[in-house]
Amino acid sequence: MTMARRNFIRVLGGGVVVAAAGAVVVPRLDAMPAAAIAGWSGPSPAEHDPRRRAIAWAILAPNPHNMQSWLVDLSRPDEITLHVDRERLLPQTDPLGRQIVVGQGTFLELLVMALSAEGYRAEVALFPDGAFAADHIDGRPVARVRLVKDATTKGDPLFGQIPHRRSTKTAYEARPLSAEHIAALAATHRAGCELLLGIATDSAAVDALRAIAIKGSEIEMNTPRTHKESIDRLRIGAAAIAAHRDGISLTGPMIWGLRHTGLMTPQKAMTPGTVAWSGGRDYVMTGYASATAFGWISTAGNTRAMQVAAGRAYVRLNLKATELGVAMHPHSQTLQEFPEMAEAYRAIHKATGVPEGHTVQMFFRLGYAAAPGPTPRRPVDSIVMA
């Protein structure tokens, strides 16, 4: 993410940044640490356990706040048991754990795809010890996956898109989403599940959805405890990113300048009116202002199994979009279940026109933009249970 604020920072030719306090920033300062994004190259050639190789791909899945809330148990031969890492929840913005469970689904889908590429059929038992309560995540597994070597297993055609998949948060081009691409996304979704996919491109519908999305972002930013949850997960600068390899990364020469002039700190990012707070808001709103299409995935109810299914469907859509050259960016705010968001939550369900009783599990921008760089990922060992 790059933030700029008039009268504080200017960008000169050649990419050098000069901040108000006089600090000169050279282009490679605060570059993304290579170790933090090494995982996007896939598993090491020296890794021979097909389970760990598959996990190395699955950890590249999109997930809430990039907290990578996954734990896997490999203690039983030819099995992978997936758990939620309960140290990596989002209790303020995701008090019911719904988004975290959706993120388990994205991991599970990539895991199954990666196993098929290794010649294994994945037999998935979802919530083998029973599903979580609607308002609580406990220590029971999300899924138990048994590996069965099967010569007839065919690799998934979307598998090759995994290292190229991104959540594109920048401004999008003004051109509308093509009818051909809409049809291809819809066909991919229908082939994968029974969940409902909606895509809005009509300008009036897009404007209405944009207004609700902006309102949701403002509610989250102006509710101190929910905004703090995001700020606590900011990794500002290369050193912090390298140390954590998760969360929301702020890096690059301009961030270096803001840090070294004291304009970018977690405390400043929490304080309305500061460069850090206003820059963050401007960055989000610029993205929404550029949206020419929105999409959403809904389920007929809101069971834990449906949440997992929504995650699996979303990441498949993201991979297909990657293949097509379509950018995607999930917007989670209006789907959050904390009390202050209730009105916006109802509004997004009404504006998307989902059937009565359906739950919108994912809401996202669609369009065209240059692909950003990869986001940090922790090593496989960090999610394997001892």
All residue ranges of the chain with pLDDT < 70 are 1-27, 386
Q: Which residues pair with 82 in a beta bridge?
A: 72, 143
**Which architecture does CATH list for 34-163+374-383?**
3-Layer(aba) Sandwich (3.40)
pLDDT for the residue numbered 26: 63
pLDDT at 27: 60
pLDDT value at residue 283:
87
Tell me what pLDDT residue 58 has: 98
Cα–Cα distance between 84 and 140 in angstroms, integer?
8
Tokens standing for residue 102: 């959706």
Q: How would DSSP label each residue in 92-144?
A: TT-TT-HHHHHHHHHHHHHHHHHHHHTTEEEEEEESTT-PPPTT---SS-SEE
Q: What is the CATH class of 9-31+166-367?
A: alpha beta
Query: pLDDT tens, 70-115?
Result: 999 999 999 999 999 999 999 999 999 999 999 999 999 999 999 9
| Cβ 7 vs Cβ 1: under 8 Å | no
Give start-end residues of each CATH 3.40.109.10 domain in the chain: 9-31+166-367
Q: Determine contact, residues 326/366, Cβ cutoff 8 Å.
A: yes
Q: Where in the chain is the domain with CATH 3.40.109.30?
A: 34-163+374-383
In this prediction, residue 317 carries a pLDDT of 98
- Phi, psi for 91 (deg, rounded to 5): -65, -25
Separation in Å, CA 111 to CA 21, 78, 307, 384: 48, 14, 17, 14
- What pLDDT does 380 receive? 98
Residue 79 zone, left/alpha/beta (φ > 0; ψ -120 to 50; rest): beta
pTM over 0.85: yes
Q: Which two tokens stand for residue 45?
A: 């050639």
In the prediction, which pLDDT does 74 show? 98
Tell me which residue of 7, 47, 32 sits closest to 384, measured CA to CA. 47
H/E element, 186: helix 179-192
The whole-angstrom separation of Cα 280 and Cα 318 is 25
